[in-house]
Amino acid sequence: MSANVSLTSVGKTFAPGSRPVLDNVNLEIQPGETVTLIGPSGSGKSTLLNCIAGMEPYSGSIAIEGEPVRKPRRSVAMVFQAPHLLPWRTTAGNIAYGMQLQGGLPKEDQRKRVEDLLELVKLRDARHRYPAQLSGGMQQRVNIARALAVQPSVLLMDEPFGALDAISKEHLQAELQGIVSAQRLTTVFITHDISEAIFLGDRVIVLSADPGRISAELTVERPRPRPLEWKRSAEFQDFYSFLWKELQQA
Protein backbone atom coordinates (compact mmCIF):
# COMPACT_ATOMS: atom_id res chain seq x y z
CA MET A 1 0.00 0.00 0.00
CA SER A 2 1.31 3.46 -0.90
CA ALA A 3 1.57 6.41 1.46
CA ASN A 4 1.55 10.20 1.47
CA VAL A 5 4.90 11.90 2.19
CA SER A 6 4.87 15.51 3.36
CA LEU A 7 7.94 17.76 3.72
CA THR A 8 7.50 21.20 5.35
CA SER A 9 10.31 23.75 5.70
CA VAL A 10 12.92 20.96 5.80
CA GLY A 11 16.48 22.09 6.47
CA LYS A 12 19.76 20.36 7.19
CA THR A 13 23.06 21.66 8.57
CA PHE A 14 25.90 19.28 9.37
CA ALA A 15 27.75 21.52 11.83
CA PRO A 16 26.70 24.51 13.97
CA GLY A 17 27.40 27.75 12.19
CA SER A 18 28.09 26.10 8.82
CA ARG A 19 26.14 26.81 5.64
CA PRO A 20 23.00 24.65 5.38
CA VAL A 21 22.95 21.76 2.92
CA LEU A 22 19.14 21.97 2.63
CA ASP A 23 16.98 25.01 3.23
CA ASN A 24 13.19 25.41 3.32
CA VAL A 25 12.31 22.35 1.25
CA ASN A 26 8.54 21.97 0.89
CA LEU A 27 7.13 19.02 -1.02
CA GLU A 28 3.89 17.03 -0.95
CA ILE A 29 4.12 13.55 -2.50
CA GLN A 30 0.85 11.78 -3.18
CA PRO A 31 0.24 8.06 -2.52
CA GLY A 32 1.46 6.00 -5.46
CA GLU A 33 3.29 8.93 -7.06
CA THR A 34 6.82 8.67 -8.42
CA VAL A 35 8.86 11.83 -7.82
CA THR A 36 12.31 12.10 -9.36
CA LEU A 37 14.93 14.46 -7.95
CA ILE A 38 17.69 16.04 -10.03
CA GLY A 39 20.19 18.76 -9.26
CA PRO A 40 23.89 19.63 -9.41
CA SER A 41 26.42 18.08 -7.06
CA GLY A 42 26.06 19.64 -3.63
CA SER A 43 22.32 20.22 -3.91
CA GLY A 44 21.61 17.78 -1.08
CA LYS A 45 19.65 15.14 -3.02
CA SER A 46 21.02 12.14 -1.12
CA THR A 47 20.87 14.04 2.17
CA LEU A 48 17.19 14.77 1.57
CA LEU A 49 16.54 11.10 0.83
CA ASN A 50 18.32 10.11 4.05
CA CYS A 51 16.15 12.54 5.98
CA ILE A 52 12.98 11.00 4.52
CA ALA A 53 14.36 7.57 5.47
CA GLY A 54 14.84 8.73 9.06
CA MET A 55 18.61 8.25 8.89
CA GLU A 56 19.55 11.93 9.27
CA PRO A 57 18.32 14.55 11.77
CA TYR A 58 16.81 17.66 10.19
CA SER A 59 14.87 20.80 10.97
CA GLY A 60 11.30 21.34 9.86
CA SER A 61 8.85 18.50 9.40
CA ILE A 62 8.73 15.25 7.44
CA ALA A 63 5.67 13.06 7.87
CA ILE A 64 4.53 9.79 6.28
CA GLU A 65 0.79 9.30 6.51
CA GLY A 66 0.76 12.10 9.08
CA GLU A 67 3.32 10.47 11.39
CA PRO A 68 6.58 12.42 11.96
CA VAL A 69 9.76 10.77 10.66
CA ARG A 70 12.56 10.76 13.22
CA LYS A 71 14.04 7.29 12.76
CA PRO A 72 14.00 4.46 10.19
CA ARG A 73 10.72 2.59 9.87
CA ARG A 74 9.69 -0.69 8.32
CA SER A 75 7.32 0.95 5.87
CA VAL A 76 10.21 2.75 4.12
CA ALA A 77 12.77 0.86 2.00
CA MET A 78 15.96 2.25 0.47
CA VAL A 79 17.74 1.12 -2.70
CA PHE A 80 21.29 2.42 -3.18
CA GLN A 81 23.47 2.64 -6.27
CA ALA A 82 25.61 -0.32 -5.18
CA PRO A 83 23.57 -3.51 -4.58
CA HIS A 84 25.66 -4.66 -1.56
CA LEU A 85 24.42 -8.22 -1.93
CA LEU A 86 25.68 -10.90 0.46
CA PRO A 87 28.14 -12.97 -1.65
CA TRP A 88 27.44 -16.20 0.23
CA ARG A 89 23.70 -16.02 -0.39
CA THR A 90 21.90 -16.99 -3.57
CA THR A 91 19.53 -14.68 -5.41
CA ALA A 92 16.59 -16.10 -3.46
CA GLY A 93 18.54 -15.90 -0.20
CA ASN A 94 19.43 -12.25 -0.75
CA ILE A 95 15.82 -11.35 -1.52
CA ALA A 96 14.68 -13.05 1.69
CA TYR A 97 17.34 -11.42 3.88
CA GLY A 98 15.38 -8.32 4.93
CA MET A 99 12.29 -10.37 5.78
CA GLN A 100 14.38 -12.70 7.91
CA LEU A 101 15.93 -9.79 9.79
CA GLN A 102 12.50 -8.34 10.54
CA GLY A 103 11.08 -11.69 11.58
CA GLY A 104 7.46 -12.45 12.29
CA LEU A 105 6.60 -13.97 8.90
CA PRO A 106 6.20 -17.77 8.68
CA LYS A 107 8.79 -19.51 6.49
CA GLU A 108 6.19 -20.69 4.01
CA ASP A 109 4.94 -17.12 3.54
CA GLN A 110 8.54 -15.95 3.09
CA ARG A 111 9.10 -18.55 0.38
CA LYS A 112 5.89 -17.52 -1.39
CA ARG A 113 6.89 -13.85 -1.30
CA VAL A 114 10.35 -14.63 -2.67
CA GLU A 115 8.79 -16.65 -5.51
CA ASP A 116 6.44 -13.80 -6.37
CA LEU A 117 9.31 -11.31 -6.41
CA LEU A 118 11.53 -13.56 -8.52
CA GLU A 119 8.73 -13.54 -11.07
CA LEU A 120 8.22 -9.78 -10.76
CA VAL A 121 11.89 -8.91 -11.40
CA LYS A 122 12.31 -11.68 -14.00
CA LEU A 123 14.92 -13.71 -12.15
CA ARG A 124 13.21 -17.07 -11.67
CA ASP A 125 15.95 -18.89 -13.60
CA ALA A 126 18.63 -17.19 -11.50
CA ARG A 127 17.23 -18.11 -8.08
CA HIS A 128 20.16 -20.39 -7.20
CA ARG A 129 22.93 -18.18 -8.56
CA TYR A 130 25.31 -16.21 -6.36
CA PRO A 131 26.00 -12.48 -6.86
CA ALA A 132 29.33 -13.15 -8.60
CA GLN A 133 27.40 -15.10 -11.23
CA LEU A 134 25.02 -12.20 -12.01
CA SER A 135 25.41 -9.22 -14.30
CA GLY A 136 25.27 -5.71 -12.85
CA GLY A 137 21.69 -5.29 -14.01
CA MET A 138 20.64 -8.60 -12.49
CA GLN A 139 22.30 -7.69 -9.18
CA GLN A 140 20.36 -4.44 -9.09
CA ARG A 141 17.10 -6.31 -9.73
CA VAL A 142 17.92 -8.52 -6.73
CA ASN A 143 18.58 -5.35 -4.74
CA ILE A 144 15.17 -3.94 -5.70
CA ALA A 145 13.42 -7.24 -4.93
CA ARG A 146 15.09 -7.37 -1.50
CA ALA A 147 13.68 -3.91 -0.76
CA LEU A 148 10.21 -4.90 -1.96
CA ALA A 149 10.23 -8.09 0.11
CA VAL A 150 9.55 -6.16 3.31
CA GLN A 151 6.43 -4.72 1.63
CA PRO A 152 7.19 -1.01 2.06
CA SER A 153 4.70 1.75 1.33
CA VAL A 154 7.52 4.16 0.38
CA LEU A 155 10.48 3.24 -1.82
CA LEU A 156 13.53 5.53 -1.82
CA MET A 157 16.06 5.04 -4.63
CA ASP A 158 19.45 6.76 -4.72
CA GLU A 159 20.79 6.55 -8.30
CA PRO A 160 20.19 2.79 -8.49
CA PHE A 161 21.04 2.57 -12.20
CA GLY A 162 23.93 5.04 -12.21
CA ALA A 163 26.68 2.43 -12.59
CA LEU A 164 25.00 0.44 -15.38
CA ASP A 165 25.63 0.56 -19.11
CA ALA A 166 23.13 2.46 -21.27
CA ILE A 167 21.23 -0.61 -22.52
CA SER A 168 20.92 -2.26 -19.10
CA LYS A 169 19.81 1.07 -17.65
CA GLU A 170 17.02 1.50 -20.21
CA HIS A 171 15.77 -2.04 -19.69
CA LEU A 172 15.62 -1.54 -15.92
CA GLN A 173 13.91 1.84 -16.31
CA ALA A 174 11.17 0.14 -18.32
CA GLU A 175 10.89 -2.72 -15.81
CA LEU A 176 10.80 -0.40 -12.80
CA GLN A 177 7.63 1.24 -14.10
CA GLY A 178 5.83 -2.08 -14.00
CA ILE A 179 7.25 -3.00 -10.59
CA VAL A 180 6.23 0.29 -8.96
CA SER A 181 2.75 0.12 -10.53
CA ALA A 182 2.23 -3.49 -9.49
CA GLN A 183 3.25 -2.74 -5.90
CA ARG A 184 1.40 0.64 -5.81
CA LEU A 185 4.44 2.27 -4.23
CA THR A 186 5.13 5.90 -3.43
CA THR A 187 8.61 6.36 -4.88
CA VAL A 188 11.30 9.03 -4.57
CA PHE A 189 14.07 8.48 -7.12
CA ILE A 190 17.38 10.40 -7.30
CA THR A 191 19.26 10.63 -10.58
CA HIS A 192 21.79 12.79 -12.43
CA ASP A 193 20.24 11.67 -15.73
CA ILE A 194 17.63 14.13 -17.05
CA SER A 195 16.17 11.55 -19.44
CA GLU A 196 15.79 9.03 -16.63
CA ALA A 197 14.09 11.62 -14.43
CA ILE A 198 11.52 12.42 -17.14
CA PHE A 199 10.91 8.81 -18.15
CA LEU A 200 10.28 7.57 -14.61
CA GLY A 201 8.76 10.56 -12.86
CA ASP A 202 5.19 11.71 -12.48
CA ARG A 203 6.92 14.88 -11.31
CA VAL A 204 10.52 15.99 -11.69
CA ILE A 205 11.88 18.21 -8.90
CA VAL A 206 14.99 20.32 -9.51
CA LEU A 207 17.12 21.16 -6.47
CA SER A 208 19.48 24.11 -6.55
CA ALA A 209 22.87 23.94 -4.84
CA ASP A 210 24.42 25.69 -1.85
CA PRO A 211 22.00 25.38 -0.15
CA GLY A 212 19.62 22.83 -1.63
CA ARG A 213 16.24 24.36 -2.41
CA ILE A 214 13.48 23.42 -4.85
CA SER A 215 14.09 25.67 -7.85
CA ALA A 216 11.76 24.11 -10.45
CA GLU A 217 9.13 21.44 -10.90
CA LEU A 218 7.87 19.63 -13.99
CA THR A 219 4.71 17.53 -14.11
CA VAL A 220 4.90 14.68 -16.63
CA GLU A 221 1.34 13.83 -17.66
CA ARG A 222 2.14 10.75 -19.67
CA PRO A 223 0.22 7.50 -19.09
CA ARG A 224 2.03 4.31 -18.18
CA PRO A 225 3.53 2.12 -19.37
CA ARG A 226 5.80 4.59 -21.14
CA PRO A 227 7.58 3.00 -24.12
CA LEU A 228 11.28 3.64 -24.52
CA GLU A 229 10.54 5.10 -27.96
CA TRP A 230 8.83 8.04 -26.23
CA LYS A 231 12.31 9.30 -25.33
CA ARG A 232 12.81 10.17 -28.98
CA SER A 233 9.58 12.20 -29.22
CA ALA A 234 9.28 15.99 -29.56
CA GLU A 235 7.33 16.13 -26.28
CA PHE A 236 10.14 14.39 -24.42
CA GLN A 237 12.76 16.67 -25.96
CA ASP A 238 10.76 19.72 -24.87
CA PHE A 239 10.74 18.40 -21.30
CA TYR A 240 14.48 17.73 -21.55
CA SER A 241 15.23 21.25 -22.80
CA PHE A 242 13.20 22.82 -19.99
CA LEU A 243 15.02 20.83 -17.30
CA TRP A 244 18.42 21.42 -18.89
CA LYS A 245 17.88 25.17 -18.72
CA GLU A 246 16.69 24.94 -15.12
CA LEU A 247 19.76 22.93 -14.12
CA GLN A 248 22.06 25.55 -15.63
CA GLN A 249 20.54 28.08 -13.26
CA ALA A 250 20.33 25.78 -10.21
128-159 residue pLDDT tens = 999 999 998 899 999 999 998 988 999 999 99
Identify whether 235 is part of a domain.
Answer: yes
In order, the DSSP letters of 142-160 are HHHHHHHTT--SEEEEEST
Q: Is residue 140 part of a domain?
A: no
Does residue 82 form part of some domain? no
35 three-state secondary structure: strand
**How many structural domains is the chain composed of?**
1
Question: Quick check: is 83 in a domain?
Answer: no
pLDDT of residue 31: 94
Task: Name which of 38-42, 65-69, 131-135, 222-226 the model is least confident about.
Answer: 222-226
Cα–Cα distance, 246 to 250 (Å, whole number): 6
The DSSP annotation for 117-145 comes to HHHHTT-GGGTT--GGGS-HHHHHHHHHH
Q: How confident is the model at residue 1 (pLDDT cuts 50, 70, 90)?
A: low
Q: What is the mean pLDDT of residues 21-32?
A: 96
Region for residue 32 given its phi and psi (left: phi exceeds 0; alpha: psi -120 to 50; beta: otherwise) = left
User: Domain for residue 238, yes or no?
Assistant: yes
Provide the residue range defining the domain that includes 68: 1-75+187-250
Work out the average pLDDT over 83-89.
Answer: 93
Rounded CA separation 75/99 (Å) = 12
Is there a domain that residue 220 lies in? Answer: yes
Identify the CATH number of the domain in which residue 40 sits. 3.40.50.300
Confidence of residue 81 (pLDDT cuts 50, 70, 90): confident
Q: Is the CB of residue 8 less than 8 Å from the CB of residue 26?
A: yes
Asked whether residue 142 is domain-assigned, the answer is no
Express each pLDDT in 123-135 by its tens digit.
Answer: 999 999 999 999 9
What is the pLDDT at residue 250?
A: 74
pTM of the full predicted structure? 0.92
